[in-house]
Structure formats: C-alpha cells, structure tokens
Amino acid sequence: MLVETCVKTIELREYAKKLGYDEVLSEDKYDFRYRLSLELSSKEEIAKYIRKIKDNKVILFVKPLSFEVFKYSLQSPKVAALILDRKNIGLIGKKGSLNLIRQAKKPVEIQLKNLEIDVIYKVIQWNKWIEYPILSSCASKFNEIWSPLSKFSLLVTLGANESDALKWIYNNPTLLIGNYDRTTTY
C-alpha cells in the first residue's frame, strides 16, 4: 500500500490516486481519518492540544520548536510523528536528540512543500538514528503532489541507497498508518 501522508484538502485525493497512491492523509477535518499538524514551542501548549483532541480520527504530527516539546512529543503515544525542517533541525540534529529518536522509534516527516535539500541530505546522513523517515508532499494544489518515483529519484540523487529510499516511500508511511490503526486510544 502506498500512502501520501500530507495533502491540505480532501479534493486532492483523486490526483494522488492517479499518481499511484492508495491512501492519502489530508488536513481536512471532513475526511474519515485526517492529520493535524502543530508547530509548538512550549510543553504546556502541546499538553493542552493533546487534551483537546477527542476525535479518534486524528493523526497528530508535531513540529517541536523547543527541546521540552521535542521530548514530550517523543514520549506521548498520541503524537504519531515529528516534523523536521530548517526551523528545528538544529534542535534535533544533536547526537543526544538523535539517540532519543532512535529509542522512541518515532517517524520523522520531511515536508517537500518547501524543498529543503539540506534537511533531506542531513536525514539521509542520520539514517542510523532515524529509523522511520517519511517524505510528504504537503500539497495545497494538485501540481504540488510529488509522485513516488520523483521522491525516489530525489533521495537517490542526494545519496540515499535505493533500498532505504524505497523504505522511506513505501514502508514507513504504511507503518505509520498501521500503528495508528492499532494504537488509537484517545
């Protein structure tokens, strides 16, 4: 099963399916299962948002902007994945933080909406610490959806070996959805 883990609206599902995706996570609350992306800098904020979530259809993605939010996100079973970009790569890029990610076995999402080659390259280099990286389109228009082949080509061009690139595109998003289905207890 091929999963695109981020599109902004449910209307983009048909375009993603034409590109070969079997399932799409949208940020549209009217979908049967949707994602919620939060960018937070305090532990109190994340705790408040997690308490507010009563809907078992929500898959929570957090972009931590402080170390305390990062640690809280790793420990909380309600946080499905971390979001990594230029804003927080300095926080997560320390060896101690990478070891925490490896121990928690949390997926780490890299969004391709604002193509940040340096972030993708770093995650490729950190492959032994980040076991479940995920590439997401986070498209708001149909022409922003990345095809699986384009994602694969990007990863291989930046230095990932082919088996890891396939794992990032095919296996890890499916594992994310599978873990959500087994452990939803909101």
Helix (H, G, I), strand (E, B) or coil at 139: strand
- Which whole number is the average pLDDT over 40-45? 94
Round to whole Å and give the CA distance between 23 and 17: 8
Residue holding tokens 């902007």? Answer: 65
Instruction: Supply the DSSP string of 15-62, one letter for each residue.
Output: HHHHTT-SEEEES-TTSSSEEEEEEE--HHHHHHHHHH---TTEEEEE
pLDDT of residue 180: 60
Q: What is the CA radius of gyration of the chain?
A: 15
Q: Which CATH number does the domain housing residue 137 bear?
A: 3.20.20.140
Residue 161's identity, in one-letter code, is N
Domain tally for the chain? Answer: 1
Residue holding tokens 């640690």? Answer: 71
**Prediction pTM value:** 0.90
Backbone angles phi, psi at 24, to 5 degrees: -135, 135
Round to whole Å and give the CA distance between 36 and 25: 10
The pLDDT tens digits for 138-184 are 999 999 999 999 999 999 999 999 999 999 999 999 998 886 654 44
Please report how many Cα atoms fall inside a 13 Å half-sphere around the Cα of residue 159, on the Cβ side. Answer: 11
pLDDT of residue 56: 80
Mean pLDDT, the chain, as a whole number? 90
Q: Do residues 5 and 109 lie in contact, with contact meaning Cβ atoms separated by under 8 Å? A: yes
Q: Which residues, in sequence order, are CB contacts of 143 under 8 Å at separation 6+?
A: none
Q: Which of 85, 163, 87, 164 is nearest to 124 (CA)?
A: 164
- 177 is in which domain, residue-wise? 3-183
Q: Do residues 145 and 15 lie in contact, with contact meaning Cβ atoms separated by under 8 Å? A: yes
Q: Is the pLDDT of residue 131 over 50?
A: yes
| Ramachandran category for residue 121: left, alpha or beta (phi over 0 → left; psi -120 to 50 → alpha) | alpha
Q: Is the pLDDT of residue 98 over 50?
A: yes
Identify the band that residue 93 occupies on the pLDDT scale cut at 50, 70 and 90: confident
The pLDDT tens digits for 149-158 are 999 999 999 9
Q: Is the pLDDT of residue 186 over 60?
A: no
